[in-house]
Each structure stands twice: as structure tokens, then as C-alpha cells.
């Protein structure tokens, strides 16, 4: 039996890129034609010229808070007769009631559709890489209500050929009893809940020797917990995705970063902008999905990550990311005014001699101080003054300017660093 889900995973990287770029114009065209909000986002764009990453990078980024605001405005202003596409989904979906098999609600709330297409959320690759195979019983401990996590894993397990026990969340004693009775081969859920279940099994003096693999998501999966599970005979692997996009990337036996899904385009951009950063630099994850039912073009996830160099030793040839490295939305309030990463980017764009910048907010309650640290090779004595004036113009706040050695700012994706203390 192959260790790969399909031959797409081992394509020549150049062939994969050609395939993706060949499909991209049609993806953009369908999105504009089927989802009214995407038509507004891309108004004036000729989709058939969006056939390179450079062309894609010129399109506007739509961020999660904009999607939420668009849905909220539509629900508040449109009557039910306007239809689900326009009113419930704010024009971001291509399908409504009848075409959607289910609808879910994520915090906000943001409503997401699920169609009847097999493995709609595309987590089957992650399950396969974690060792799940046809004929296995998968114990699913993701929630089955409101959010799509339970359905994400169930539909993926069915695509692999597994039977699913819908355990859901909570009720640890019943979870242990079901595991003892049914002898599942694998677990799907958060890693912390699996630890709780196994500790409860110890307390109940119950063993579950059948459990040998796990696909975990929804929270951090530190090496200490991975090793704890391995000592219990359970090999755990993590997957990264969202309710808007489905699976984005997944861990393999190589344990070196997360391999990208085969049916999306990932960019890493400087937070608050749509500007892509060099490979290896931490920035915001931006995804263009090829999902025709819920098309999102240059969707900013708000998550930080970075591209890893080279290919995975596991044999999969797609690009890899380092995993989840924090949140890109570093908006903070200074002296009663919100300061956004996009405002810092707006200032920096005015000064091409500034290579990188980081706004550091320090002080104590009621005594805030902003310092814009810049990497520059310029010797212009008036640069700091012009930068300070620009910061004040954009943010309405005063900032000191500090030049630092080129390459000395941390590669952590932070545009705004809040180091204030509160006592």
C-alpha cells in the first residue's frame, strides 16, 4: 500500500506550479461569477491575466474581520427573501440552501457552508499521512455542533475508507468506555482532550491497546505532549486549517514542518499589507482556495507562519510551512487610539530606504511611548524627522525613531510589539 494519498503529492515541483498557475485564472473567474462579494473585491480585474504569483500578489487581500463585517451588514440589512448567499453569507458563498448540505457557525458568528462534495474540507490527506487506512475505526472527538470541526474529520475519514464513531466533546468516562468496547484504531480531536481521555482510562484501570494513531488540530501540539502520547503507543500528527478554508497543511512522518495541501495557493505576506515576504521570513498566511462552493481569493487568515526551505524527507514534494507561529493582528491601543499593522506599513511605504520596521510600544498605564525601530543603510540625517512626522500624520500619535543594524530585528512576523507593563 502506498505511503502517499495520491500521485499529486509527489509531483515534480515545477509541474505542480504549472498546474496551479494554469488553473488559477479559472478559479478567479468562477469566484467573481458565483460569489457577489468576490466580484466586489475583484472589481475591474481581468481574471484571465491572473496566471502568475506576481499577478496574484497585486490583488487585494480580504481579511477575516472584513468577511465577518460583510456577513453582519448583510444579515442586518437584507430580508430573508434575499436568499442565503446574499444575506447569510454576505455574498462570499457560491451556494445557498438546498445546494449546501450543512451550514456551520464559527465565533463572530461567521457562517460557513458545506456542500455534498466528498472530503469537502480536504483533511483526508492529513489523515492518510497520520496512518489512517481503509477499514479503520476512527474515534472523532471534535465538536459536532455549531462549528465544522466534527464534520471536517468525519468526511475526511469517510474519504479514506474509515468508519467513524462520533464521540464529540466531554463525557470522558463514556469516551473511555466506547474506546474499550469499540477498539478504535485512531483518534481525531484536540491533543489535550486525548491526554485527558487516556488519563481517565488510567484512573478507571482501562486499557485501549488498539489506539495507535491520532490526527490532532485546534490547538498547539508541543513536542512534550507528542512524546507523552508516543510513550503510550500513540503516534500523533497535527493538521492546520480553518473553517473558512478547510485544511491548509499537515504533518508527516518526517516531523519537519507542515506540508501544504495540493489544492490551494499559499502566500506569506507582511502583516497589515498584501506584500509577500522572502521565503523564510515570518508573515501572515494568505490563501487562495480552489473550492468552487466557497471561493476565497487572497484570504488573510490572521495566522503567522513561514516557508521552510527544501522538500520534506518524507517524499512529498510540496512546499512546507513552519506551522502556526502566532497571530498577525497586532492591533493595539495607545493613548486611547488604535494603532494597526497596516498603518505601520503605510508609513514605511513612503520611505523606500527603510528595509524593515517594527513599532515598539512601551511604558506603563497612562504613560505610553512608541518607538519605530527601522533597518536602513541610509545616512540621511533628516530621515528620522520625516519618519516621525509621517507616523504622526498616519496614527495621530508621536513616536521616536531608532535606527538599528540591518538584519537585527527579530524574524517573528511582528510589526507592532507591545511590551507595556500593567500593575
Q: Is the pLDDT of residue 343 over 90?
A: no
Phi, psi values for residue 5, rounded to 5°: -65, -40
Q: Is the pLDDT of residue 365 over 70?
A: no
Q: Is the pLDDT of residue 6 over 90?
A: yes
pLDDT band for 284, please (50, 70, 90 cuts): very high
Find all residues with CB under 8 Å of 353, minimum gap 6, and list them: 376, 377, 378, 380, 383
Separation between Cα atoms, residue 184 and residue 293, nearest integer Å: 33
Q: Please check whether residue 413 lies inside any domain of the structure.
A: yes
Q: Please check whether residue 362 lies inside any domain of the structure.
A: yes
Q: Is the pLDDT of residue 358 over 90?
A: yes
Q: Please check whether residue 154 lies inside any domain of the structure.
A: no
Q: Please check whether residue 390 lies inside any domain of the structure.
A: yes
Phi, psi values for residue 266, rounded to 5°: -110, 135
Q: What is the CA radius of gyration of the chain?
A: 23
Average pLDDT, the chain: 93
Burial class (CB in 10 A: 0-12, 13-18, 19+), 222: exposed
Q: Is the pLDDT of residue 387 over 80?
A: yes
Q: Which domain holds residue 342?
A: 332-418
pLDDT band for 255, please (50, 70, 90 cuts): very high
Q: Is the pLDDT of residue 320 over 70?
A: yes
pLDDT for the residue numbered 64:
86
What sign for the dihedral angle of Cα 273, 284, 318, 311? positive
Q: Is the pLDDT of residue 108 over 60?
A: yes
Q: What is the mean pLDDT of residues 237-254?
A: 96
User: In terms of Cα–Cα distance, which of 348, 295, 346, 286 is closest to 53?
Assistant: 286
Q: What is the mean pLDDT of residues 24-42?
A: 97
pLDDT band for 219, please (50, 70, 90 cuts): confident
Of 400 and 396, the structure prediction assigns the larger pLDDT to 400
Q: Is the pLDDT of residue 330 over 90?
A: no
Q: Is the pLDDT of residue 318 over 80?
A: yes
Q: Is the pLDDT of residue 1 over 90?
A: no
Q: Please check whether residue 220 lies inside any domain of the structure.
A: no
Q: Please check whether residue 51 lies inside any domain of the structure.
A: no
pLDDT band for 106, please (50, 70, 90 cuts): confident
User: In terms of Cα–Cα distance, which of 414, 133, 109 is closest to 271?
Assistant: 414
Find all residues with CB under 8 Å of 291, minimum gap 6, and list them: 120, 245, 246, 263
Number of folded domains that form the chain:
1
Asked if 353 and 377 count as a contact pair (C-beta separation under 8 A), the reply is: yes
Dig out the grid coordinates for 151 from the structure.
464534520
Instruction: Name the residue with cell 472530503.
Output: 119
Burial class (CB in 10 A: 0-12, 13-18, 19+), 26: middle
Q: Please check whether residue 353 lies inside any domain of the structure.
A: yes
pLDDT for the residue numbered 285:
96
pLDDT band for 342, please (50, 70, 90 cuts): confident
Give me the percent of the chain exceeding a pLDDT of 70: 98
pLDDT band for 422, please (50, 70, 90 cuts): low
pLDDT band for 373, please (50, 70, 90 cuts): very high
Q: Is the pLDDT of residue 423 over 70?
A: no
pLDDT band for 89, please (50, 70, 90 cuts): very high
pTM (predicted TM-score) = 0.85
Q: Is the pLDDT of residue 132 over 90?
A: yes
Separation between Cα atoms, residue 77 and residue 143, nearest integer Å: 31
Q: Is the pLDDT of residue 204 over 80?
A: yes
Asked if 200 and 172 count as a contact pair (C-beta separation under 8 A), the reply is: yes
Q: What is the mean pLDDT of residues 236-262?
A: 96
pLDDT for the residue numbered 243:
92
Q: Which of 15-29, 90-104, 335-349, 351-365 has the lowest mean pLDDT?
A: 335-349
Q: Is the pLDDT of residue 335 over 90?
A: no
pLDDT for the residue numbered 86:
97
Q: Is the pLDDT of residue 337 over 80?
A: no
Of 255 and 342, the structure prediction assigns the larger pLDDT to 255
Q: What is the mean pLDDT of residues 188-202?
A: 95
pLDDT for the residue numbered 218:
87
User: In terms of Cα–Cα distance, which of 144, 40, 157 is closest to 91?
Assistant: 40
CATH code of the domain containing 392: 3.30.300.30
Q: Please check whether residue 366 lies inside any domain of the structure.
A: yes
Amino acid at each position: 500500500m502506498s505511503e502517499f494519498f495520491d500521485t499529486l503529492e509527489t509531483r515534480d515541483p515545477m509541474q505542480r506550479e504549472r498546474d496551479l498557475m494554469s488553473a488559477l485564472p479559472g478559479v478567479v473567474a468562477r469566484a467573481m461569477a458565483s460569489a457577489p462579494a468576490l466580484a466586489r473585491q475583484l472589481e475591474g480585474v481581468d481574471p484571465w491575466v491572473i496566471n502568475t504569483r506576481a499577478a496574484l500578489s497585486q490583488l487585494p487581500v480580504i481579511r477575516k474581520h472584513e468577511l465577518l463585517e460583510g456577513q453582519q451588514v448583510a444579515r442586518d440589512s437584507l430580508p430573508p427573501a434575499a436568499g442565503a448567499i446574499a444575506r447569510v453569507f454576505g455574498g462570499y458563498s457560491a451556494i445557498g440552501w438546498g445546494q449546501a448540505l450543512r451550514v456551520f457557525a464559527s465565533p463572530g458568528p461567521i457562517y460557513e457552508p458545506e456542500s455534498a462534495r466528498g472530503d469537502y474540507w480536504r483533511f483526508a490527506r492529513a489523515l492518510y499521512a497520520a496512518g489512517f487506512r481503509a477499514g479503520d475505526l476512527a474515534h472523532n472527538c471534535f465538536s459536532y455542533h455549531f462549528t465544522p470541526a466534527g464534520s471536517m474529520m468525519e468526511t475526511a475519514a469517510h474519504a479514506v475508507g474509515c468508519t467513524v464513531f462520533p464521540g464529540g466533546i466531554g463525557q470522558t468516562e463514556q469516551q473511555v468506555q466506547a474506546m474499550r468496547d469499540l477498539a478504535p484504531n485512531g483518534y481525531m480531536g484536540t491533543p489535550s482532550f486525548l491526554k485527558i481521555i487516556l488519563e481517565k482510562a488510567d484512573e478507571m484501570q482501562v486499557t485501549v491497546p488498539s489506539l495507535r494513531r491520532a490526527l490532532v488540530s485546534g490547538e498547539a501540539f508541543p513536542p512534550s505532549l507528542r512524546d507523552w502520547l508516543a510513550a503510550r503507543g500513540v503516534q500523533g500528527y497535527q493538521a492546520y486549517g480553518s473553517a473558512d478554508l478547510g485544511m491548509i497543511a499537515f504533518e508527516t512522518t518526517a516531523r519537519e514542518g507542515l506540508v501544504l495541501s495540493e489544492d490551494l495557493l499559499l502566500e506569506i505576506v507582511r502583516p497589515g499589507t498584501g506584500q509577500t515576504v522572502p521565503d523564510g521570513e515570518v508573515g501572515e498566511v494568505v490563501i487562495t482556495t480552489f473550492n468552487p462552493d466557497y471561493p476565497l481569493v487572497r484570504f488573510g487568515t490572521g495566522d503567522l507562519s513561514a516557508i521552510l526551505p527544501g522538500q520534506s524527507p518524507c517524499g512529498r514534494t510540496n512546499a512546507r510551512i513552519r506551522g502556526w507561529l502566532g497571530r498577525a493582528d497586532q492591533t493595539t491601543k495607545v493613548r486611547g487610539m488604535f494603532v494597526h499593522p497596516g498603518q505601520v506599513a503605510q508609513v514605511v511605504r513612503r520611505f523606500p530606504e527603510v528595509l524593515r520596521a517594527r513599532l515598539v510600544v512601551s511604558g506603563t498605564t497612562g504613560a505610553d511611548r512608541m518607538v519605530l525601530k527601522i533597518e536602513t543603510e541610509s545616512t540621511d540625517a533628516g530621515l528620522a524627522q520625516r519618519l516621525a512626522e509621517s507616523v504622526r500624520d498616519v496614527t495621530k500619535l508621536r513616536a521616536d525613531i531608532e535606527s538599528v543594524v540591518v538584519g537585527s530585528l527579530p524574524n517573528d512576523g511582528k510589526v507592532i510589539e507591545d511590551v507595556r507593563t500593567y500593575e
